[in-house]
Structure 1
Amino acid sequence: MMDFMSGMLLASAYPLESGQMHSKQAGRYDIVRTLPKESDSIHNMFAYARVEGTLRVASIYHRHEGHDRSAVSVGGLFGFHTAAYQGVNLHVKATTSQYIAWINHDASKPTLSHDFFNATGDSFTYLSHANVRYENATMALTLGRMALHTPYVDTDDIRMAANSFEGLSSHISMTDHIDMQAFYVTRWAGFDSGANQQEFTPLVEDGSGVGALGISYTPNDESSAELWYYYADAMSHILYAEYSGHYNISEAFHLEYGVQGSYLAAMEHANVDGVVLGVMGIVDYGPLFCGLSYNRGFVKSHQRISDGFGAGPYYTSLDEATLGAVSQDAVGEDVMAYRVGVGYEFESIGFVIEAVYGRLRSHEHSVNVKESDVIVSYDITKAITLNASLTAFHSHDDRENFERGLVRVDYNF
């Protein structure tokens, strides 16, 4: 799902589409960067400051082996950014998720889902974004805590606390067709970072951080390509390439396609090493769309592939299951996955519904999972959005089977 945080994103070569099936492509994220209001003094930077944020109400229900867990939370992302003085401005935002005592079960009981809370089931509030930026018409530099949207380091907003990262990033619009992004981050917080999601912790244990350089090329309105190199200290060197585009057959009928490839080379004493290939295709006919994607991962003995830090870049990612998670549970085995789905968009009212099915397994079938998702997104107004999903996950030995329902309502201001 799209997140509610701002970030510098590689450009989109074609109109953005709604829904999960459209969410794993080169150029999915558009660069919509409006320069902040200019001030004539440091004092006026704060006088012209703008309050912004998202109020979020979320509910989750999880059933596993006959045991029900649920939770309701109120929170979101709240902060401000100043005007710019000589191109420099400040951004500060806090993420919060608050336990609602009269709705939720007591935190000590096993019936409380901890997805919205910390490891002990308590509320949290933390400074998720705090950075200094220098921006002009062609470049932006950010130092501090920030959102990032890249193939292997991603904000991935799927619960109450989206991932945010601590470090330095830059974006340069080199030409009308070429954009470059580079960053070095050392710590992260958010739902994907661990049980205590409100605490900034190292991205890689015993590693100094993750650095990356990415270049996107959009030669025309129909195609986009990107190339990334990641240095994940104490983990792996990662080279990622992707090419995608769309082909208009008629005003109502068009095709989307993509190919991707990753090469992961493990560092000393690490086991993240392998090759991942993927293809995808989507047919759009008016409001109806259907898609098919396939990934295959190749590893050697005692090695595995990784999703990185966030959602992962692979076309076959589902609401829960990912190629990297399967590989982590089947070290030394090749892995494969496919995903099929169909959706319908009521564009006039901003409503999209999708049904998606995926199968992921290892070569020796030591891991074999199936997942079905139904996903709804609804732009109720320009400021209010609703996202909901139903997930049914089935593993090869039935011990990890579960069903989950998730609803989130956001008010953006």
Structure 2
Amino acid sequence: MAGLWLGAICVFAFVSPVQSEEGVFGNLRVGFIHAEDDAGDETDGSAIGGKLGYISPSWKGLSAGATFYTTGELFDDENGDFFSSENGSYSILGEAYVQGELGNTQLRIGRFELDTPHADTDDIRMVPNTFQGLLLSNSDIAGTTLYLTHLDKWAGVDADIPESFEEMNGDDGVTVVGAVYEGIEQLTVQGWYYQGSDFAKLFYLDGMYEADAFSVGIQFGSQSDDTDDDSGPDGDVWGITGSYSLADFTITAAYNDVSGSVTNGFGGGPYFTSADDHTIDGVEDQEATALGVEYGGVAALAVGVLHVDFDQGANETDYYAVYDVNEQLGLELIYTDMHEDGDFIRLMANYGF
């Protein structure tokens, strides 16, 4: 697709490569949203924005990059999903980093986009999450990439104050180590450990096998509270997912079971049963089952429905259509029915370059 996204509707999360080719890149986005809450109150929001970035040529293994993000009101700002903490337009220098490469080792320092299971861009509105810190990666081991990162600030769609970089986890930040293995064809395995003093310790492991007509994946997470007042997540979660394609249809199913409570972390979270809005985050002993079907029989168009049944709280049903006009321009329409929690409809257009 042309740089489009589909909310939190996903079954597998792993570190995705950051922009690495030198030169100018970016996108232009337009978004509309209409929402109705459980009390019947309606709000609207519309915005235009996107990003513009530049990566310098490499000189003796050194390079630098910067990306400017912006979102501005078009007609309505009653619904704040696209806007700042005060429902206003804003702009931010979301990426500004220097990078060094030596052999198979890469070090990036500054502000940057990052996608890991519990710290990710969650690129579902106008401005994604970006992080400040350092990121060290190494791929000396065949088929394996090792990661070490320390993050101390973040901004973007999931932050309390999207329009400015604020501290993650107080003064302590979060230190992360991870490994992604892709040495066997069609199989990806990853493991991650997050140390957040006075917050929580998070361990995450998953694996996905993908063939032409089907895929199957498993995940496990263990989280332990590290606060003085027992306010952090504390529990285990496991999950299984699978998909099967028949003719022009793809059927997906997933299941998550939580013992205790778990968090998404800093972003949208990695759980197999995540819907566009609701996840298993923050609910004691939650259990969720997801079932979806997608039709792709029309060129450049995908339409589908995903229903997630939560053992506790409101269920969610997402109806969506994604159309690639060409390699640069994509359109997304999604209707999210959160049942007793309300509903919303969202239209997004993205032009990437």
Q: TM-score normalized by structure 1?
A: 0.79
Residue 41 of structure 2 is aligned to residue 54 of structure 1: no
Query: Is 1:410 aligned to 2:350, yes or no?
Result: yes
State which of 5, 8, 12 in structure 2 corresponds to 1:25: 12
Task: Specify which of 274, 295, 320 is matched with residue 317 of structure 1.
Answer: 274
- Partner of residue 258, structure 1: 217
**CA 1:81–1:70 in structure 2 vs 1: closer, same or farther (change >3 Å)?**
same
Which letter does structure 2 place at the counterpart of 1:382?
E
Distance between the aligned counterparts of 2:300 and 2:351, measured in 1?
Answer: 15
Task: Report the CA distance between 1:172 and its aligned residue.
Answer: 1.6
Residues 1:267 and 2:232 aligned together: no
Which of these residues, 295, 315, 337, is aligned with residue 344 of structure 1?
Answer: 295
Measured after TM superposition, the shift of residue 136 of structure 1 is 5.5
Q: CA deviation at 1:324?
A: 0.5
Residue 308, structure 1, aligned to residue 269, structure 2: no
Q: Is the 8 A contact 2:16 2:114 kept in 1?
A: no
2:176/2:195 contact within 8 Å kept: yes
Cα distance in structure 2, aligned partners of 1:259 and 1:357: 20
2:307 to 346, 352, 357: 357
2:204 equivalent to 1:240: yes
Task: Confirm or deny: 8 A CA contact 2:121 2:129 kept in the other structure.
Answer: yes
Residue 199 of structure 1 is matched in structure 2 by 164
Where do 5+ consecutive residues of structure 1 fail to align?
Answer: 5-17, 37-49, 249-253, 328-332, 363-367
The structural deviation recorded for 1:346 is 4.2
SS state of the match for residue 281, structure 2?
A: helix
Which of 18, 41, 48 is equivalent to 1:74?
A: 48
Structure in which a larger fraction of residues adopt strand? 2
Question: How far apart are 1:152 and its partner, in Å?
Answer: 0.4
Give unmatched runs, 5+ long, in structure 2.
none
Query: How far is 1:31 from its partner?
Result: 4.3
Match of 1:371 in 2: 316
Query: Do the aligned partners of residues 311 and 411 (structure 1) sit closer, same or farther apart at CA in structure 2, a change above 3 Å counting?
Result: same
Deviation at 1:120, TM superposition (A): 2.5
TM-superposed deviation, 1:30: 5.5
Classify the secondary structure of the residue corresponding to 2:326: coil
Letter in 1 for 2:314: V
Letter paired with 2:36 = R
Q: CA deviation at 1:337?
A: 0.7
Shift of 1:215: 0.7
The 8 Å contact of residues 343 and 352 in structure 1, kept in 2 or not, is answered as yes
Instruction: Measure the CA separation in 1 of the matches of 2:8 and 2:143.
Output: 26
Q: In 1, distance between residues paired with 2:119 and 2:288?
A: 21
Alignment RMSD: 2.3
Q: Tell me if the contact between 1:181 and 1:214 (Cα under 8 Å) persists in the aligned partners.
A: yes
Matches within 5 A, 1:279-318: 279-299=240-260, 304-318=261-275
Change in CA separation of 1:125 and 1:211 when aligned onto 2, cut-off 3 Å: same
Residue number among 143, 147, 153 corresponding to 1:177 in the alignment: 143
C-alpha distance in 1, partners of 2:65/2:194?
A: 26
Alignment partners' CA distance in 1, 2:20 and 2:56: 13
* Cα distance in 2 between the residues matched to 1:2 and 1:134: 29
> Structure 1 stretch 144-153 or stretch 262-271: which is displaced more?
262-271
For residues 236 and 124 of structure 1, do their structure 2 counterparts lie closer, same or farther at Cα, with a shift above 3 Å needed?
same
Separation in structure 2 between the aligned mates of residue 376 and residue 92 of structure 1, nearest angstrom? 33
1:393 aligns with 2:317: no
How many percent identity over aligned positions?
25
Of Structure 1 and Structure 2, which has the larger fraction of its residues in helix? Answer: 1
Does the 8 Å contact 2:2/2:328 carry over to 1?
Answer: no
Give the direction of change, closer, same or farther, for the CA distance of 1:143–1:275 in structure 2 (3 Å limit).
same
Which amino acid in the other structure matches residue 202 of structure 1?
E
Aligned-pair distance for 1:354? 1.6
Q: CA deviation at 1:222?
A: 2.3
Contact 2:24 2:55 in 1 (8 A): yes
**Compared with structure 1, are the counterparts of its residues 31 and 166 closer, same or farther at alpha carbon in structure 2 (3 Å cutoff)?**
closer
CA contact (8 A) 2:3 2:330 kept: no
The normalised TM-score by structure 2 is 0.92
Change beyond 3 A, Cα 1:90–1:21:
closer
Partner of 1:142: 108
Which of 88, 106, 123 in structure 2 is aligned with 1:157? 123
SS in 2 for 1:323: coil
Larger Rg belongs to: 1
In the alignment, structure 1 residue 127 sits paired with structure 2 residue 114: no
Which residue identity lines up with residue 353 of structure 1 in the other structure? Answer: V
Q: 1:200 to 1:21 in 2, by over 3 A?
A: closer
Partner of 1:47: none
User: Is the 1:212–1:230 contact (alpha carbons within 8 Å) kept by the matching residues of 2?
Assistant: yes
CA change 1:168–1:392 in 2 (3 A) is: same
Checking the alignment, whether the CA contact within 8 Å between 1:19 and 1:354 is kept in structure 2 is no
Alignment CA distance shift 1:51-1:359 (3 Å):
same
Q: Give the C-alpha shift of residue 189 in structure 1.
A: 0.5
Distance 1:31 1:191 in 2: 20
